[in-house]
C-alpha cells in the first residue's frame, strides 16, 4: 500500500514537473501572442503592418548605401574650411535668418526696393560662409552629414553637434532662397536658379545619415521647391529652364529614392556605414528585415548616442531593457517599443513623400513653362512628357498613380497624404495636420 502511494506521489511529481517545465517554455510564446494581439488592437492597421514588416519583411538597400568609400581629400579639405568658417558664426545664427524678407517671400508679399536695400548688406555679410558651403556641397562625394572623423577637435566630429550644424545648413537654405529672389529681381536669372539649386544640392541624402538630418534635408528641399516654382513663371529664358530641369532630373535619385524605405532604417544604416569606415566588416548587400540591420548596429554600438560605461547590476539591467536584447525579442516587447516609435517615423515618411511630390510637380511646372515659351502644345497628362523631358514615369507617392490635372487652374496636383482626390479645390497644408484634407499643388 505504502509502495503504491509512493509511486503515485512520484507520478504526480513528474506530472507537475513536466507541467511547470511546459509552462516555462510556453510562457514566452503566450506572452508574445498577448503582446502581438495587444499591439494589433491598440494601433492603426498601417502602424501594425509597419511593425510586422520591420521584423519579417526583407529589404534591399539602395546600391549606393551598400558601398562605403573613404571621404575624398577634396571633400575633407572643403569640409575643414566650412568647419572653420562655421565656428565663427556660433551664437550669431539670428543674423542669418533675414526674417523680414524671408517672411514676406513666405507669405507671397511683394518685396519692395527698401526691403532689398535692408537685406543686401546682410546677404553680403554671409558671402564667405555661403562660398564655403558651395565648395563643400559641390564635391562629388558630398552627402548630408559627411563629417570627417579624424579631427577630435572638429565641432562637426562631435556627434551631438550634428543637429546644430545641420540646422545651420537649413538657415543657409533660407539665405540662398533670398539671394535667388534678389538675383531674379535684377534679371540675373542664371545666378537666381543656381542659388536655388544649391539648396537642392544641400539636400542630397544618398547615402543617408540620421533621421534628424534627413528631416532637415526634407525641410531644405521644400524651401527650395516652394520658391523655385514661383520663379519659373517669371523667367523667359527656356534654355535656362531646360538646364534647371536637367539638373533636377539628375538630382532626383539622390534626393527622392528613400520614399519607399522604412525611414527608421536611416539611423541604422547611417550608423553601420560609420562603422564600416572605421574598418568593421559589415555586409549591407544582404536581403534581410530592418530588424536584422538594427541588431547589427546594436552589436557595434550607436555612434551618435553617447556611450556611458556601466558595470555590475546596472549593466545587466540596462542590457535587459534594450529593445535588441534576447529577452526583449523573446517576449516581443521590442515590438511594443517599435509601435510607440513608428507614428513619429511615419510622419517623417509622409513629409518625405510630400517633398517628393513637390519635386515632381516643380519639374512639371518647368516643362509646362518651357513648352509655353517655345510655342509647344500644352500638356495635361504626364505621359506626354516622358521621355522627352523626364526619364521614367512620374508617379504620385500618395496614390501610386500618375499626377492629376486641374483644367481650371492649368496645373498638376497630388492627392496628398489623405489620398483623396478633392479636385485641387482645397490646398493641403501640414499645419492643419499631417494627414489633413486637401490636395498638393504648386506654386
pLDDT for 47-103, tens place per residue?
A: 667 777 777 788 888 887 888 888 888 988 888 888 788 777 766 666 665 557 777
Lowest-pLDDT range of 85-99, 166-180, 344-358, 387-401? 85-99
Instruction: Tell me if 237 is assigned to some domain.
Output: yes
pLDDT at 162 over 80: no
Taking a C-beta distance cutoff of 8 angstroms, is the pair 196, 137 a contact? no
Element (H, E) at 324: none
Summarize the confidence of residues 98-109 as an average pLDDT: 70
Q: 161 vs 402, which has greater pLDDT? A: 402
Instruction: Note the pLDDT tens digit of each residue in 21-40.
Output: 655 555 555 555 655 665 56
Instruction: Tell me if 28 is assigned to some domain.
Output: no
pLDDT at 229 over 60: yes
* Number of neighbours of residue 204 by Cβ within 10 angstroms: 17
Taking a C-beta distance cutoff of 8 angstroms, is the pair 385, 392 a contact? no
C-alpha cell at 228: 523655385
Query: Band of the pLDDT at 366, cuts 50, 70, 90?
Result: very high
Q: What residues make up the domain containing 112? A: 62-326
Instruction: Tell me if 392 is assigned to some domain.
Output: no
Taking a C-beta distance cutoff of 8 angstroms, is the pair 412, 364 a contact? yes
C-alpha cell at 316: 545587466
Instruction: Tell me if 318 is assigned to some domain.
Output: yes
Reported residue count of the chain is 443
Instruction: Tell me if 228 is assigned to some domain.
Output: yes
Q: In DSSP terms, which residues pair with 406 in a beta bridge?
A: 411
Instruction: Tell me if 415 is assigned to some domain.
Output: no
pLDDT at 308 over 50: no
Number of domains in the chain: 1
SS (H, E, C) 28-77: HHHHHHHHHHHHHHHCCHHHHHHHHHHHHCCECCCHHHHCCCCCCHHHHH
Instruction: Tell me if 138 is assigned to some domain.
Output: yes
CA distances from 408 to 354, 365, 405, 411, 423 (A): 23, 15, 9, 8, 10
pLDDT at 358 over 70: yes
User: What are phi and psi for residue 353, nearest 5 degrees?
Assistant: -65, -35
Report the chain's mean pLDDT, rounded to a whole number.
75
DSSP assignment string, 215-275:
HHHHHHHHHHHHHHHHHHTT---HHHHHHHHHHHHHHHHHHHTTTTS-TTHHHHHHHHHHH
pLDDT at 442 over 60: yes
Lowest-pLDDT range of 11-15, 60-64, 400-404? 11-15
Instruction: Tell me if 52 is assigned to some domain.
Output: no
Summarize the confidence of residues 400-428 as an average pLDDT: 90
Q: 435 vs 364, which has greater pLDDT? A: 364
Amino acid at each position: 500500500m505504502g509502495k503504491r502511494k509512493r509511486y503515485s506521489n512520484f507520478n504526480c511529481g513528474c506530472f507537475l514537473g513536466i507541467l511547470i517545465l511546459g509552462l516555462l517554455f510556453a510562457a514566452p510564446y503566450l506572452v508574445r501572442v498577448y503582446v502581438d494581439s495587444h499591439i494589433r488592437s491598440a494601433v492603426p492597421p498601417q502602424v501594425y503592418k509597419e511593425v510586422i514588416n520591420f521584423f519579417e519583411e526583407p529589404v534591399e538597400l539602395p546600391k549606393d548605401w551598400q558601398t562605403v568609400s573613404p571621404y575624398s581629400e577634396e571633400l575633407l579639405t572643403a569640409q575643414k574650411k566650412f568647419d572653420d568658417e562655421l565656428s565663427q558664426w556660433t551664437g550669431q545664427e539670428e543674423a542669418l535668418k533675414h526674417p523680414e524678407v524671408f517672411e514676406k517671400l513666405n507669405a507671397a508679399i511683394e518685396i519692395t526696393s527698401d526691403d532689398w536695400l535692408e537685406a543686401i548688406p546682410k546677404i553680403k555679410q554671409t558671402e564667405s560662409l555661403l562660398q564655403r558651403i558651395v565648395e563643400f556641397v559641390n564635391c562629388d562625394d558630398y552627402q548630408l552629414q559627411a563629417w570627417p572623423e579624424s579631427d577630435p577637435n572638429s565641432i562637426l566630429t562631435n556627434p551631438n553637434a550634428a543637429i546644430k550644424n545641420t540646422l545651420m545648413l537649413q538657415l543657409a537654405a533660407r539665405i540662398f532662397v533670398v539671394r535667388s529672389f534678389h538675383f531674379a529681381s535684377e534679371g540675373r536669372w542664371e545666378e537666381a536658379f543656381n542659388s536655388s539649386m544649391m539648396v537642392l544640392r544641400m539636400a542630397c541624402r544618398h547615402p543617408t545619415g540620421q533621421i534628424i538630418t534627413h528631416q532637415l534635408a526634407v525641410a531644405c528641399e521644400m524651401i527650395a521647391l516652394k520658391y523655385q516654382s514661383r520663379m519659373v513663371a517669371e523667367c523667359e529664358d527656356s534654355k535656362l529652364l531646360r538646364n534647371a530641369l536637367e539638373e533636377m532630373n539628375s538630382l532626383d535619385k539622390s534626393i527622392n529614392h528613400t520614399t519607399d524605405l522604412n525611414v527608421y532604417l536611416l539611423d541604422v544604416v547611417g550608423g553601420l556605414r560609420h562603422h564600416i569606415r572605421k574598418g568593421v566588416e559589415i555586409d549591407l548587400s544582404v536581403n534581410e528585415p530592418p530588424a536584422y540591420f538594427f541588431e547589427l548596429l546594436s552589436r557595434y554600438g550607436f555612434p551618435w548616442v553617447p556611450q556611458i560605461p556601466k558595470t555590475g547590476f546596472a549593466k545587466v539591467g540596462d542590457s535587459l531593457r534594450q529593445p535588441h536584447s534576447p529577452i526583449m525579442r523573446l517576449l516581443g516587447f521590442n515590438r511594443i517599443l517599435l509601435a510607440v516609435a513608428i507614428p513619429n517615423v511615419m510622419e517623417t515618411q509622409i513629409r518625405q513623400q510630400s517633398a517628393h511630390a513637390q519635386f515632381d510637380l516643380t519639374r512639371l511646372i518647368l516643362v509646362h513653362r518651357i513648352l509655353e515659351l517655345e510655342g509647344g502644345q500644352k500638356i495635361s497628362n504626364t505621359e506626354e512628357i516622358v521621355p522627352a523631358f523626364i526619364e521614367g514615369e512620374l508617379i504620385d507617392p500618395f496614390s501610386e498613380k500618375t499626377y492629376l490635372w486641374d483644367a481650371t487652374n492649368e496645373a498638376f496636383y497630388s492627392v496628398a497624404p489623405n489620398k483623396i482626390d478633392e479636385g485641387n479645390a482645397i490646398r493641403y497644408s501640414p499645419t492643419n495636420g499631417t494627414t489633413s484634407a486637401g490636395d498638393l499643388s504648386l506654386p
